[in-house]
Chain A
Amino acid sequence: KAGVTQTPRYLIKTRGQQVTLSCSPISGHRSVSWYQQTPGQGLQFLFEYFSETQRNKGNFPGRFSGRQFSNSRSEMNVSTLELGDSALYLCASSLGTSGDTDTQYFGPGTRLTVL
């Protein structure tokens, strides 16, 4: 079974631009979560989607948004990029049917650099 895939793997943007990252979950998984990883703040939860609905959200500004499609693929968008948005963005998928928590499998991440 193929793992979680994320595209693109690397991105370079300038301040003020916006960016869209994509995540394809493991086949059969309906939950997709997004995390930001930086050297200073570590791994932080952004949001989680299940059946096209956002079920949980972390403490990030409204510039960070996401969505999920009917095939469970998910995108996250960051508008008006700031230098501090430079990070590794990780996506994780799980079955999502427990309604509580279940084992999550991570993709390789998208490395975003904001200049």
Chain B
Amino acid sequence: GEDVEQSLFLSVREGDSSVINCTYTDSSSTYLYWYKQEPGAGLQLLTYIFSNMDMKQDQRLTVLLNKKDKHLSLRIADTQTGDSAIYFCAESKVGGYNKLIFGAGTRLAVHP
């Protein structure tokens, strides 16, 4: 089936690390994505990982994929107030022709 789940809210202190979690159910997923959405804006692609990888690092962002548990996480190091936004996890499937299945989004609030 098609289902991507995320926790809805995360609050962190500026300078700390944030970890946003996501679980997916479809084992035929090919790519898993993290998008960021700021108020009134579209979706900004942050990073993605191919489903045969375990980890990907891109500057302050680290993506971990546990295929056995179908669990994906996004770690943001040294979180800043500008990181406050909604973060969406999404998966695509083999033969899906670019159809992305999104989670509900995690609202990240960064406070001083």
Contact = CB atoms under 8 A, between A and B. Distances in A.
Interface of A: 4, 6, 31, 33, 35, 42-45, 48, 50, 55-56, 58, 90, 92, 94, 96, 99-109
Interface residues of B, number: 26
A37 B102 CA distance: 10
A90 B99 contact: no
Interface string B26-50: 0000110101000001111100100
B105 to A, nearest CB: 7
A74 B45 CA distance: 21
Contacts of B104: 42
A105 B45 CA distance: 7
A99 B92 CA distance: 12
The 4 closest A-B pairs by CB, nearest first: A101-B92, A43-B102, A106-B43, A56-B97
Contacts of A4: 42
A85 B53 CA distance: 38
Main secondary structure of the interface of A (DSSP, over half): strand
27 contacts: A6-B42, A33-B99, A42-B104, A43-B102, A43-B105, A48-B98, A50-B97, A56-B96, A56-B99, A90-B42, A92-B43, A92-B100, A96-B98, A100-B92, A100-B95, A101-B98, A101-B99, A102-B98, A103-B31, A104-B45, A105-B45, A106-B42, A106-B44, A107-B42, A108-B41, A108-B42, A109-B41
Contacts of A48: 97-99
B30 A58 contact: no
A101 B30 CA distance: 8
Interface in B23-76: 30-31, 33, 35, 41-45, 48
A104 B98 contact: yes
Given A100-B94, A103-B48, A106-B35, A58 B41 contact: no
Contact of A100 (B44, B97, B100, B105): B97
Contact of B99 (A45, A50, A108): A45
Contacts of A50: 97
Nearest to A9: B40
